[in-house]
Amino acid sequence: MVYTTLFPKWWFRVQLTHAPSEKQPQRGSKTLLEQIRATCPTLADPEMAYYIPSWIMPNGDMQTIYLYTQHYRPAGCPVDFEREIFVFSDGGKAAVDWALPRRDQQNADSPLMILVPGIAGCSFDYYSRSFIKSIGHQPYGHQVVVLHSRGVNGVELATPIAFHGGMTDDLREFVQYIARTRPNAPLIGIGFSLGANILTKYVGEEGDQCRFVAAASVCNPFDIDATVNSMCAPTLKNRYLYAAALTKSLVQVFTDNEQVIMAGDVQLDRQAIAASRNINEFNEQYTAKIFGFGSARDLNTGGSCIQYLCKIKIPMLFINALDDPMCYRHTIPYAEIEANPNLVLACTRYGGHLAYFEGTGLSPWLPKQLSQFIQGMLDWK
């Protein structure tokens, strides 16, 4: 429990993966990595880039569980939102939460961060609030908007279609809306967990036409099929913690919107869906069928962002913890990231899933890294 004081400091150094400097994009006198090192030294400068977890909870399981408890303590990281209901072209609806104050209303050309939460996640989750608080205050003061998935955070489904880990159409339609209403605003995408997979896949699909100036991915599963299969392994942690919690959240979306879903054209077995014991079972009974995939495996494989990494044309930062108990180290695509000069991967030995607490006060390490990277990309000219 006190190993953070026993190991040498180099043990906690952030491990970077990127293309050789001669292949990286360059603006002015700096390559992409040089700009990140200059503006985000605690993430990329070899002399300063360390993540040392709090000795109080040094491993990924403890960090992840503690993060979950913080979702229910908004007073510990207060952020206020203004809600908008976004209506998609097919009639579907999703909650869009604008962090207050609304700076974009005074200056439509100011930078805007579009945040994509994790599976059934929301703006009130601690990782969202801590990032918003960091990027929204001095010295940054940037606007953040959170795009939720359909059927979550208090908005009922308006169509039988909910969401899946590779569904990029909703993000695409929302970004197009923002681009029309704020044509001169620099946009940056930030995705967490399954939202990171969606964001990464979208950026790759857009290629040269991507509207984002830059993007950041945190705790990305990359290969959904491999991740879900690992999560479905019959271990105690999966059965009673991680897979159980994620499956429960998916089943809850179904039960909350059962009447609308069952009224659709696709034949579904409501009892089998409600009885799903893991994510693959849920996807097999509901998600794959509703989206027209032949199986859960087809859904998972088709929705994975790993196949789109080579198509990304904007600067993109990936942050993953090697002890993440939900997005596993064996799914991290080092070779694919190194092959694309626009990508930089920062891996930490510890941090859990979206947690990254440090010090005796259990302060979040992650928001500072994201905020510095974002400002560095906005200033890179």
230 is catalytic: no
For the chain, what is the mean pLDDT? 94
Residue 45 burial by CB count (10 A; 0-12/13-18/19+): exposed, middle or buried?
middle
**Separation CA 232–CA 284 (nearest Å):** 13
Kindly state the average pLDDT of the residues 61-75: 87
Q: What is the DSSP string of 123-153?
A: TTSHHHHHHHHHHHSTTT--EEEEEPPTT-T
**Separation CA 65–CA 62 (nearest Å):** 5
State the pLDDT at residue 122: 93
The catalytic residue among 123, 193, 230, 276 is 193
Alpha helices by DSSP H, 182-295: 194-206, 224-231, 236-240, 242-256, 258-262, 270-274, 279-282, 288-290
Residue 2 in this model has a pLDDT that exceeds 50: no
The catalytic residue among 97, 104, 170, 324 is 324
Two structure tokens written together for 215? 């993007």
* pLDDT band (50, 70, 90) for residue 3: low
Indicate the SS3 state at residue 246: helix
Indicate the SS3 state at residue 188: strand
Element (H, E) at 298: helix 296-303
137 is catalytic: no
- Interval 203-253: pLDDT, tens: 999 999 999 999 999 999 999 999 999 998 888 888 788 989 899 999 999
- Interval 100-149: pLDDT, tens: 999 888 888 999 999 999 988 999 999 999 999 999 988 999 999 999 99
Indicate the SS3 state at residue 319: strand
Q: Give the domain ranges of the chain.
A: 9-223+305-379, 225-303
State the pLDDT at residue 75: 67
* pLDDT band (50, 70, 90) for residue 4: low
State the pLDDT at residue 232: 87
Kindly state the average pLDDT of the residues 57-72: 91
Instruction: Say which residue the tokens 């993966």 belong to.
Output: 17
Residue 334 burial by CB count (10 A; 0-12/13-18/19+): exposed, middle or buried?
exposed
Cβ-contact 197, 165 below 8 angstroms: yes
Element (H, E) at 63: helix 60-70
Indicate the SS3 state at residue 256: helix
Kindly state the average pLDDT of the residues 244-269: 93
State the pLDDT at residue 222: 98
Residue 89 in this model has a pLDDT that exceeds 50: yes
- The answer, as to whether pTM is greater than 0.75, is yes
330 is catalytic: no
Kindly state the average pLDDT of the residues 20-25: 96
State the pLDDT at residue 337: 98
CATH class entry, domain 9-223+305-379: alpha beta
The catalytic residue among 18, 142, 164, 353 is 353
**Separation CA 192–CA 112 (nearest Å):** 17
Cβ-contact 379, 39 below 8 angstroms: yes
State the pLDDT at residue 234: 83
AA letter at 190: I
Q: What percent of the chain has pLDDT over 90?
A: 85
- Interval 315-358: pLDDT, tens: 999 999 999 999 999 999 999 999 999 999 999 999 999 999 99
Alpha-carbon distances, residue 67 vs 50, 53, 63, 83, 200 (angstroms): 20, 13, 6, 24, 24
Two structure tokens written together for 173? 């339609």
- Interval 165-196: pLDDT, tens: 999 999 999 999 999 999 999 999 999 999 99
* pLDDT band (50, 70, 90) for residue 1: very low
Q: Is the peptide bond before 139 cis (omega within 30 degrees of 0)?
A: yes
- Interval 285-298: pLDDT, tens: 999 999 999 999 99
Kindly state the average pLDDT of the residues 144-173: 95
**Separation CA 115–CA 79 (nearest Å):** 14
